[in-house]
Amino acid sequence: MVIGKMNKNKLDQLNNYKKPILTLYLTSGYPDFNSSIEIAQILINSNIDILEIGIPFSDPIADGPTIQNTSFKAIEAKNKNNTKSIIDSTFEIVKILRKTDVKKPILIMSYLNPIYQFGIAKFSEIAMHAGVDGIVIPDLPFEQSKKINQIFNNNNIYLINMLTPATSKAKIKKVVQNSKGFIYYVSSTGVTGSRDKLSSKNLKIIDIIKQTSSVPVLVGFGISTNEHIKIINKYADGAIIASALINKISPIIEKGNQNGDIKTIINDFINNLNK
């Protein structure tokens, strides 16, 4: 038996939440390893429900300019400092977080190529030992996910299924039936990044998913304001915020957080989202 395999997955607790679920994203290694640890610690200790940590990749096809920029800078910092691999560094961040927080779910977001290059089984086992609860792979089609899903399931890590506005009703039904943790609804078929509003089509699809899903539905891609979240929370179970947070903190952290006010900025941002 794999050590730790039978531990309850922290994502299971989401079904018991009586409030909207807020997930925030950061890029591992941005702007450098030590800074990303600092940001991760602030986030895990803040008023959020899930932390998503993205593994930088040189061809981030699903990401908009903001997250692409953080990926490129993280890779540049890694190459400059000749540190351990970005994947190993990411798991190191999770291990550090788990020393002080053992309750909040932690997700890893990675494109498929880095996982394959690292080795799927190896990636899954190290992720389990680090304390990872879920994995998001935006370029993995659901139809091709059975094998990799089983590998992660063996280590009690949930592969988070994604649905989009273009997903057919028949496929929605199949994905919903095979989902654990939560369903990640992508509110746009384009790349990540802040947008002005959510379409009525999105809201109708979310409603369809909610009618049949036994796990929470969280909405991501383009969510950036308190107004977005208020609308989302009427239809879904919560929101996933990425680019909006990075846009807020990047001018500070790229200058080295000289005034030490990054914690205040992050907490103010989160408090505003939760109003």
Task: Provide the annotated active-site residues.
Answer: 52, 63
Residues in the chain: 275
What residues contact 186, with CB distance under 8 A and at least 6 apart? Answer: 162, 163, 164, 165, 220, 221
Question: Angle, nearest 10°, between helix axes 120-130 and 86-98?
Answer: 20
What residues contact 46, with CB distance under 8 A and at least 6 apart? Answer: 24, 266, 267, 270
Tell me phi and psi for residue 154, to 5 degrees. -60, -25
**Residue 194 half-sphere exposure toward CB, CA atoms < 13 A:** 14
Q: Is the dihedral of CA 56, 193, 133, 92 positive or negative?
A: positive
End-to-end CA distance of the chain: 45
Helices (H), the chain: 33-44, 65-81, 86-98, 112-118, 120-130, 146-154, 169-177, 200-212, 226-235, 243-253, 262-273
